[in-house]
A and B are shown apart, each in its own frame.
Chain A
Amino acid sequence: MTTVRNFVRSNVRNPNAVAYFLMAVSALFFPAVVQFATGGSGDYLVGLAADGGIYMLMAIGLNVVVGFAGLLDLGYAAFFAIGSYTYALVASNHLGVTPIGHSLHVPFWIALFIGMFVAATAGALLGAPTLRLRGDYLAIVTLGFGEIVPRVFRNAGIWTGGVPGISALDVPTLPGWVQGPWVGQDFGWVPDFRFTSANLTAYYMLMIILIAFVVILVHNLYNSRLGRAWMAVREDETAAAASGVNTVSVKLLAFSIGAATSGFAGAFYGAKLSYVSSENFGFIVSVTVLAMVVLGGMGNIPGAMLGAIVLYFILFWLLPNAPGQMQGLASSLGLDWLNQSNPNGWPGIGEVVSRSKYVIFGLILVGIMLLRPQGLLPSQIRKQELTHEEPEALAAPRQLQA
């Protein structure tokens, strides 16, 4: 009992510990609360939240690249696409219609890791030559890569199913799963469980388990020699190299680990949707995830998670609902003319609100960097780095002037 008390006491002032605790508790109770609040028809919301978990996974991964290693990756969605398509190829009938002629149905969990591995390899191949260059070149190379990959998938014809993409992918499975009153059934063990749209709560729980797993691994990395090396490289590459850190390979690891996480999320996403198409992987996905990381706090895992929750909520719940609500608000205020579109170009308030997605991204990225560069839930060290101005003399790009 005293150990518990000590544990609580030592963590209650640590914002990260509190954030983890609150996120875990609310994640666990979310389905029950939603079902209760909607009178049992909350499946849609639970599924929506589970899809948000995909973004959270990506934010955690991008945080390794941007937050830990200080590398700007603007083509993060490309690795997501690579993970999805890899999964689609090895876990559907599609290879059967390609010149290969034999379809593959690799078991779900293995296929998931194949997707992850292929994405990581793509990251390494892209990063190896690029990371030797100066930092902002990486941003551009990844941006270009992010534009290329979806187009290649769209143009590759029979191999990737062209514009319609690939459908009927194998859905996630587990050797067994527990059911219980939370899905309105008796306690029991379901063998050979398939995650489909009929059991979104199970999908949601699986998502939470995966996120918890990834968080633990990334947390371990952060507190290891590798995490320390990332920090050092971010602060002063020259000094890190002089201290024996192979800066290129350390950055490459960060970049590939980020790509791996994205590929993992992509493979899982493909499996859940049971469908992939090149339309889902544009720059908008990369910039969304970047905005999540920046909003939450670069370099802090629970920060990135919080950023993902907040922005996902805004983009996928608030924004879709906002036009209707704004219209309602306008008419209840007697401002019906706001709702009408008029020939001068005013498209009606609902339309304006639903068009404002990019304005939100822009305001988040610019506003956060200017006003609170450390984000909502900052990492202590990044907070110092990002808020202290360097004196003029030291601010020159840090190059080799030992």
Chain B
Amino acid sequence: MAAMVQRLRASVISTPTASLINLVGLAIVAVALVATAQRVYQGGATYFFQTLGFGLAQGAIFALVALGYTMVYGIIELINFAHGDVFTLGAFISLALMPVFGLNEGRISGAALILPLLGLFVVTMLICALVNVGIERVAYRPLRHAPRLAPLITAIGMSALLEGVMNVWRGPFNLHYPDFLPSTQIPIGGGVTIAAKAVMVIVVAVVLMVSLTLFVNRSKLGKAMRATAQDRDAAQLMGIDINRTISATFFIGAALAGAAGIIYGLYYNSVQAFDGFQYGLYAFTAAVFGGIGNIPGAALGGILIGVIYSISDGYFTVSWTQVLVFAILIFVLVFRPTGLLGMRVPEK
């Protein structure tokens, strides 16, 4: 704790210009918070908890996608632009697989849903994971020693390709995604309620994130990942199979993104071939906000961006929300590229 405080202090007060920037930044944040607090107060508790629930659910989805960005960036320092589209692919694939699991809207509900949904999750996550591993194998691995620009361009290309394939497959339409989750409100005291849907989304996301954290911290493969992220050459010398570790990273990241795709579909009941571009960018913003390369950072960043998003939507104007999120992305990258919890100090 003391070490963290010290680090925070060191990062806040370093040079005169930096401290000025920090001061201005803090002032802006303070003004925004005051303005928000005022509107929240006027809006009443019920509306606030609705907005918050929406923000947390959305943030949980951002976080799941952000994890994949952060893990891949941590290990091979590549922005995997295609990751956002793997997420949409998860929604598309699960949509196509639903009949296989007997998931027909209106005909199945309640506890009978649990097993088929579980199966849907597992199969979708597996397919997304394999697709992403394939992408790495085909498009990134051959370029691992090429100039840095090359894999970035193929990543953009892969993103376009996935979007294109989904567009050819189902067209540029908003597809209806079945609504299985209960639309009840859970009372949390004082006449205030929160949507059961949001709670479910958050719970599933938290379970997935906790398992990921345990996996990375405890398992042998997880340790290999962390070692490879820290120093690839040293890890190789220690006998770690680098290619396998990188594949595993893409696998896990995409599995989470696939799950996020299903959750997204179940929560919003609509999905479109190009959703992954925007959503991926939000999730990337979340990863950067939390500190790219940092797993708890991605989770925190996801939640924060989700809440900021829904507060901006709920209390300010919807049309400026996206501008706000992307502005956060730019400002964080420029003024605090290590993010909130970042460990990786980017060199010049």
Give chain A's interface residues, CB within 8 Å of chain B: 66, 70, 72, 74, 129-130, 132-137, 139-141, 143-145, 147-148, 151-152, 154-155, 234, 237, 283, 287, 290, 294, 298, 345, 347, 351-352, 355-367, 369-370, 373, 385-386, 389-392, 395-397, 399-400
A356 to B168, Cβ gap below 8 A?
Answer: yes
Contact across chains for B319 and A359 when beta carbons are under 8 A apart:
no
Which of B156, B164, B327, B334 is the one whose CB lies under 8 Å from A356? Answer: B164
Q: Of the 9-residue stretches B97-105, B142-150, B180-188, which lies at the interface with chain A? A: B142-150
The reply to whether A143 and B281 contact each other, CB–CB distance below 8 Å, is yes
Contact status B233-A396, CB under 8 Å = yes
CB within 8 Å for A355 and B167 given contacts A134-B348, A141-B330, A366-B161? yes
CB of A102 to closest CB in B, whole Å: 28
Contact B157 A364 (CB under 8 A): yes
**CA of A397 to CA of B344 in the docked complex: distance in angstroms?**
14
Find out whether the CB atom of B348 lies under 8 angstroms from the CB atom of A145: no
Shortest distance between the CB of B20 and any CB in chain A (Å): 14
Of B159, B169, B326, which is within 8 A of A144 by CB? B326
The answer to whether A355 touches B281, judged by C-beta atoms less than 8 angstroms apart, is: no
CA–CA, A351 and B149, complex, Å: 34
Q: Are A139 and B333 in contact, CB atoms less than 8 angstroms apart?
A: no
Is B248 engaged at the interface, CB distance under 8 Å to the other chain? Answer: no
23 contacts between A and B (CB under 8 A): A74-B156, A134-B347, A136-B78, A137-B337, A140-B333, A144-B326, A147-B281, A148-B323, A151-B319, A283-B277, A294-B153, A345-B170, A351-B171, A358-B160, A358-B164, A358-B167, A364-B157, A365-B153, A365-B156, A365-B157, A366-B139, A373-B150, A386-B150
Roughly how many angstroms separate A358 CA and B162 CA in the complex, as a whole number?
8
Interface check B235, CB cutoff 8 A? no
The reply to whether B163 and A397 contact each other, CB–CB distance below 8 Å, is no
Contact A72 B329 (CB under 8 A): no
Q: Is the CB of A362 within 8 A of B347?
A: no
Interface size on B, residues (CB 8 A): 58
Closest A-B pairs by Cβ, 9 of them: A362-B161, A365-B157, A358-B164, A359-B164, A366-B157, A362-B160, A395-B145, A144-B326, A361-B160
Q: Which residue of B lies closest to A67 (CB)?
A: B149
Assess whether A370 is in contact with B167, with CB atoms less than 8 Å apart: no
Query: At the interface, yes or no: B346 with Cβ under 8 Å from chain A?
Result: yes
Q: Which of B154, B319, B348 contacts A132 (CB 8 A)?
A: B348
Q: Known contacts A143-B281, A358-B160, A400-B347; is A70 also within 8 Å of B323 by CB?
A: no
Note all chain A residues with C-beta closer than 8 A to B161.
358-359, 361-363, 366
Are A359's CB and B156's CB within 8 A? no
Say whether A66 contacts B337, CB under 8 Å: no
Q: Choose from B77, B146, B157 the contact partner of A361 (Cβ within 8 Å).
A: B157
- In the bound assembly, the distance between CA atoms of A147 and B323 in angstroms comes to 8
Contact with A along B269-294 (1 / 0, CB 8 A): 00000000110010011001000000
Closest chain-B Cβ to A375's Cβ sits at a distance in Å of 11
| B143/A370 in contact, CB under 8 A | yes
Residues in B whose Cβ lies below 8 Å from that of A143: 281
Q: Which residues of B have CB within 8 Å of A66?
A: 149
A154 neighbours in B (Cβ, 8 Å): 319
Is A151 a contact partner of B322 (Cβ separation < 8 A)?
yes
The smallest C-beta distance from B15 to any residue of chain A, in angstroms, reads: 14
- The A interface is mostly helix, strand or loop, or mixed, namely helix
B154-A370 in contact (CB<8A): yes
- Complex contacts, B150 vs chain A, CB 8 Å: 369, 373, 386
A386 engages B147 (CB within 8 Å): yes
Residues of B within 8 A of A155 (CB): 317, 319-320, 323
Q: Determine how close the nearest CB of chain A comes to the CB of B135; give it in whole angstroms.
A: 9
Mark out the residues of chain B between 213 and 232 whose CB falls within 8 Å of any chain A CB in the assembled complex.
Answer: 232
Assess the A389–B146 pair: CB atoms within 8 A: yes
B residues less than 8 Å from A361 (CB atoms): 157, 160-161, 164
Question: Which of B79, B159, B162, B278 is within 8 Å of A136, CB to CB?
Answer: B79
B:327-348 near A, CB below 8 Å: 327, 329-330, 333-335, 337, 346-348
Given known contacts A136-B79, A355-B171, A392-B145, is B164 in contact with A360 (CB within 8 Å)? yes
B:164-196 near A, CB below 8 Å: 164-165, 167-172
How distant is the Cα of A305 from the Cα of B153 in the complex, in angstroms?
Answer: 19
Q: How many Å lie between the Cα of A148 and that of B325 in the bound state?
A: 9
A349 to chain B, nearest CB (A): 11
Q: In the complex, A141 Cα to B333 Cα: how many Å?
A: 7
Contact residues in A for B330 (Cβ distance below 8 Å) = 141, 144-145, 148
Q: How far is the CB of B157 from chain A (nearest CB, A)?
A: 3
Could you tell me if A72 and B152 are in contact, using CB atoms closer than 8 angstroms? yes
Contact between chains at A395 and B165 (CB < 8 Å): no
> Is B86 engaged at the interface, CB distance under 8 Å to the other chain?
no
Q: Check B154 against A365 for contact (C-beta < 8 Å).
A: yes
Whether, in the assembled complex, B127 has its beta carbon less than 8 Å from a beta carbon of chain A, the answer is: no
A37 and B165 alpha carbons, distance in the complex (Å): 37
- Minimum CB–CB distance from B321 to chain A (whole Å) comes to 10
Closest residue of B by beta carbon distance from A132: B348
Hey, which chain A residues are within 8 Å of B167, CB to CB?
355-356, 358-359
Assuming the contacts A141-B333, A152-B323, A355-B167, asked whether A399 and B347 have C-beta atoms less than 8 A apart, the reply is: yes
Q: Does B158 contact A (CB under 8 A)?
A: yes
Give bound CA distance, A386 to B142, whole Å: 12
- Assuming A358-B167, A390-B146, A400-B347, what are 8 further A-B pairs, CB within 8 angstroms? A141-B334, A144-B327, A147-B326, A148-B323, A355-B164, A356-B168, A360-B164, A364-B157
Q: CB < 8 Å: which of B154, B162, B346 contacts A134?
A: B346
